[in-house]
């Protein structure tokens, strides 16, 4: 119920489920991705936490959560520059983009778009999905530019005390 509150709680955000057909994604040269392994997963964990440190409501990833990625069959990736400096992370589960992040020092260069396209092309199905909160304007703009559309919306309500 847009604009209304539930039991006196203010509306916080909407959780949006988006989808797109892979064959309609924009063309791009792509970027090389390095799969995360036990040898480099501490790098992934640190970069993940750095990428999402300033995102309201984003959770940090601890060691147990990182290890659960392997158990759950999720695929994690690092994006690195020519000097092997990691600048981006990606996380996939089947046909779902679970996370994408670019280190603050590398933002504003169009790398999120290239990283997203490279990750989405690794998904096995014809349709790809993701979840994003309605308050994440940069992500919404990126996904809209890639052709994603909302297919499900859930409101989140909370009380500040």
CA–CA separation, 115 vs 134, rounded Å?
21
Query: pLDDT class for 154, splitting at 50, 70, 90?
Result: confident
What's the farthest any 2 CA atoms get from each other in the chain? 54
Tell me the average pLDDT of the chain.
88
pLDDT tens, position by position, 37-55: 999 999 999 999 999 888 7
Please name which of 28, 36, 33 lies closest in space to residue 66, comparing C-alpha atoms: 36
pLDDT tens, position by position, 97-110: 999 999 999 999 99
């Amino acid at each position: 119920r847009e604009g209304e509150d539930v039991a006196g709680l203010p509306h916080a955000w909407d959780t949006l489920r988006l989808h797109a057909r892979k064959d309609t994604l924009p063309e791009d040269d792509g970027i090389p991705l390095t799969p995360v392994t036990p040898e480099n997963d501490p790098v992934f964990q640190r970069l993940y936490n750095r990428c999402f440190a300033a995102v309201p409501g984003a959770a940090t990833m601890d060691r147990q959560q990182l290890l659960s990625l392997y158990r759950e069959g999720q695929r994690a990736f690092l994006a690195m520059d020519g000097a092997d400096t990691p600048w981006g992370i990606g996380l996939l589960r089947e046909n779902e983009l679970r996370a994408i992040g670019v280190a603050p020092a590398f933002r504003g260069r169009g790398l999120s778009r290239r990283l997203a396209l490279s990750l989405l092309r690794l998904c096995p199905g014809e349709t790809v999905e993701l979840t994003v909160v309605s308050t994440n304007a940069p992500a919404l703009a990126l996904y809209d530019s890639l052709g994603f559309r909302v297919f499900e919306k859930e409101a989140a309500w909370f009380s500040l005390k």
